[in-house]
Amino acid sequence: MNNYTNDNTARRYKAHVSIFGTTQLHLRNPYIIAWWSAAFPGFGHMLLSKYLRGYALFIWEVIVNVNAHVNSAMIYSFQGNIDMAKDVLDTRWLLMYIPVYLFGIWDSYRTTVDMNRIYLLSDREDHRFNSFAIGALEINYLDKRNPIVSLMWSLCIPGLGQLYIHRILTAIFVIVWLVIFYYFSHIQEAIVLLILGDVKEATSVLHSDWLLFIPSHYGFAIYDSYINTVENNKLFEKDLRKHLTLNYQSKKFQILKGQKVK
């Protein structure tokens, strides 16, 4: 049996390479993951590669937020118009929003702590994992990429940085929802009007309920692509180091107190 594949002979694996992307365990800061869940429910779980849970929380956030008019209320609050913020909120949706929002933050923190423990155990077990995947639709393999390139492509259009590092599921999800946010917020119409000098009209066409999703969406895409490029590079180096050690290093080779002994 090929020892480069996940053959279920190990209790824990550090990573898995498939045609849809590279999923790996690595140490994460629970507070940063919880912060991303607070910024936008679902983002924290997606950073952990808990995609189904992340997608569910993300879609819940969009549906309930838009119907409760949370983003519009936030804008009125920033402007100091508290009475208008109260009037625009729909309490029928708002009371459903709060418990799930808090759950997303709590669960992402708890899951991060658990996954950090699992990573330490899997790193100690250090079992081989597949580093190359080929299928009818795609090819994926471990290699090194430039984190700055990932960041720059994500700045252009969220999702392109994920495509660069072959995070296909996240890339598709981010790009599709970016189009939705662009369409319903009318931000591109506002940009054209702003270029033409019609500031008042540009402001009036914007839909605040959808507009405030975009900054978080950009921020997540940039952070996710950059961090995962860095971690993929670390994983590649560890895998290559182990491959070279097992196949090319003499079994008699030792390093004691900085001295090479043969």
Is residue 6 over pLDDT 90? no
- Domain membership of residue 166 (yes or no) is yes
- Domain membership of residue 3 (yes or no) is no
CA distance 199 to 26: 47
Residue 136: CB atoms within 10 A of its CB come to 5
What is the number of structural domains in the chain?
1
pLDDT tens digits for 212-243? 999 999 999 999 999 999 999 999 998 888 88
- Domain membership of residue 220 (yes or no) is yes
Buried b (16+ CB within 10 A) or exposed e, 206-244: bbebbbbbbeebbbbbbbbbbbbbebbbebbeebeeeee
pLDDT tens digits for 64-105? 999 988 888 888 888 888 888 888 888 888 888 889 999 999
87 versus 111: the higher-pLDDT residue is 111
pLDDT tens digits for 157-198? 999 999 999 999 999 999 999 999 999 999 999 999 999 888
- Domain membership of residue 155 (yes or no) is yes
DSSP 175-196: HHHHHHHHHHHTHHHHHHHHHT
Residues constituting the chain: 262
Structural domain range at position 53: 15-261
Nearest 5°: CA angle at 67, between 61 and 73?
Answer: 90
CA distance 13 to 138: 23
- Domain membership of residue 21 (yes or no) is yes
pLDDT for 3 equals: 44
- Domain membership of residue 44 (yes or no) is yes
- pTM here is 0.87
Residue 257: CB atoms within 10 A of its CB come to 5
- Domain membership of residue 121 (yes or no) is yes
CA distance 174 to 181: 10
- Domain membership of residue 10 (yes or no) is no
Residue 198: CB atoms within 10 A of its CB come to 14
